[in-house]
Amino acid sequence: MNKGDLIAAVAKDLDTTKALAEQAVNSVFSNIKKNTKKGVSIIGFGSFTVTKRKARQGRNPSTGETIKIKASKNVRFKAGKAFKEAL
């Protein structure tokens, strides 16, 4: 499922136009992005958190040369209990 499929499914579920469904989906995505630093927890679905990765040594696969990989932040999603059980 891609974003367009999600918008179509939301429009069908809510019996509304695709334009309004797109606004709703975009609003949800936008709010998750804005608030992930604080932590986003949706009961029954899961939680989004920020994790930090330390700087480390890596290797260029084509040359075998050792390279430095900078520290970075990543988003982690942990599925909730109800979501896991649905699978």
Q: Which domain holds residue 15?
A: 3-86
Helix (H, G, I), strand (E, B) or coil at 79: strand
CATH number for the domain spanning 35: value is 4.10.520.10
pLDDT at 19: 96
Q: What would the mean pLDDT of 16-22 be, rounded to a whole number?
A: 95
Domain count within the chain: 1
Q: What is the DSSP letter of 54?
A: -
Q: Which band of pLDDT confidence, cut at 50, 70 and 90, is reported for residue 72?
A: very high
Please state, in angstroms and rounded to a whole number, the distance separating the CA atoms of residues 18 and 40: 26
Q: What would the mean pLDDT of 52-78 be, rounded to a whole number?
A: 94
Name 38's Cβ contacts closer than 8 Å, sequence gap at least 6. Answer: none
pLDDT one-digit tens code per residue, 35-51: 999 989 999 999 999 99
Residue of 31, 52, 53, 41 lying closest to 79 (CA atoms): 41
Q: Which band of pLDDT confidence, cut at 50, 70 and 90, is reported for residue 67?
A: very high
